[in-house]
Amino acid sequence: MTDALYTVGLALLQSAGLLAAAPLLKTVIKKMKARLQNRQGPPILQGYRDLSKLLGKESVRSETASWVYVAGPRVYFAATVAATTLVPVLMAAAPLEAAGGILLLVGTLALGRFALATAALDTGSPFGGMGASRDMTIAALAEPALMLGLFTSALAAGSMNLGVLVRGLLQQGPSFHPSDFLALAGLFIILIAETGRIPVDNPATHLELTMIHEAMVLEYAGPDLALVEWASALKELLYMTLLVDLFMPAGIAMRAAPGAILVALLAWAGKVFVLAVAVTVAESTNAKLRLFRVPELVSISLGLAFLALAIRFL
């Protein structure tokens, strides 16, 4: 009984921590991007202010909206939060790792995406439908690439369970295989595509004919919008944590000792920051791709991930 309580407590603590950190990550990337363009950028707490402002407003909904529209952001938010409990962050064990591994993680994220896309279709506005169909087009390619990339690491550690996987990688020590690098390159493209960063989608603009994610959520306002934005930021942090776990696991605590946890926290923050810098540079040095070229980019990552898996066997 106490074991179960401990697990639930840990899961709540981890998802709350990630939820708290997610808006900060988004603002930090925005800030770094602004500095690269010689602008001042938003203050570092802007992400929290935006969320609290949106949460304080009344929600405005279209007259034609049904329950699907109301459920969309909630399911998206819940699915993303649930997904965070399946990933090891500070300790080499995910809080709810007994529930499932890679497949459950990908499935949970897919559920959230499905909920948001159907909700975007619900009001019948042209932008929503356009955004949903575009998002799904990209997801159809990105999801298998994500799975193949994750399988590559799973094959190295001999388990599909992320907790067991990270423990295996830590025990092996720093060993290197070309497939790690290929999978990292593939998953980095997926990170960019799934979080709507620049070569794929532009997170900074509204009402542009090429937008994807923003088109989907154009109908939302107030607390509904806050949930979507928060969940999107959380998803970005989740993907980055996943990359850090699989390819740079050094520093993750093997025991629940306060010192080790503190080291793991600093290591995690540092590694996520490095990834954030990489995303910022990728965003600042590339132009947005034409929509019909996006599947080409994502199919590169699919190819890289498949190659990584193939080389494991050869």
Partner 1 sequence: MTANVLILCAAGMLVTAYLMVGQKALFTTIRLYGLQSSLLGIVAATNALSDGRNDLWVTAALTVALKGLLIPWFLMKVIDRIGIHREIEPFLNVPASLLICLGLTVVGYRVSTGFPEGTRGASHHLIGVALSMLLIGLFLMVTRKKAITQILALLTVENAVFLVAVGVTSGMPFIVELGISFDVILAVLVLGVLVQRIVGRFESMDVSRLSKLKG
Name which position in 180, 201, 229, 245 contacts partner 1 (CB under 8 A): 180
Which of helix, strand or coil describes residue 207? Answer: coil
Judged by CB, which is closer to partner 1: 223, or 303? 303
Number of residues forming the site for partner 1 (CB under 8 A): 22
Task: Give residues with Cβ within 8 angstroms of 26, minimum separation 6.
Answer: 47, 233, 236
Give whichever of 208 and 296 is closer to partner 1, judged by the CB atom: 296
- Given 181, 265, 284, 291, the residue binding partner 1 (CB under 8 A): 181
Q: Which helix (H) or strand (E) holds 144?
A: helix 126-157
Phi, psi of 308 (to 5 degrees): -60, -45
67 touching partner 1, by CB under 8 A: no
Residue from 9, 43, 56, 178 that binds partner 1 (CB under 8 A)?
178
- Give the nearer residue to partner 1 in terms of CB position, either 233 or 309: 309
CB 189 within 8 A of CB 21: no
Note whether 306 binds partner 1 by CB under 8 A.
Answer: yes
Contact 19, 234 (CB under 8 A): yes
Q: Which among 114, 126, 115 has a CA at the least distance from the CA of 219?
A: 126
The contact pattern for partner 1, residues 283-302, with x = CB under 8 A and - = no contact, is ------------xxx-xx--
Q: Whose Cβ is closer to partner 1: residue 67's or residue 292's? A: 292
Q: Which of 58, 175, 209, 292 binds partner 1 (CB under 8 A)?
A: 175
282 burial class (0-12, 13-18, 19+ CB within 10 angstroms)?
Answer: middle
**152 contacts 308 by C-beta, under 8 angstroms:** yes
Nearer to partner 1, 141 or 212 (CB): 141
| Interface ranges with partner 1 (CB under 8 A) | 174-182, 185, 295-297, 299-300, 303-304, 306-307, 310-311, 314
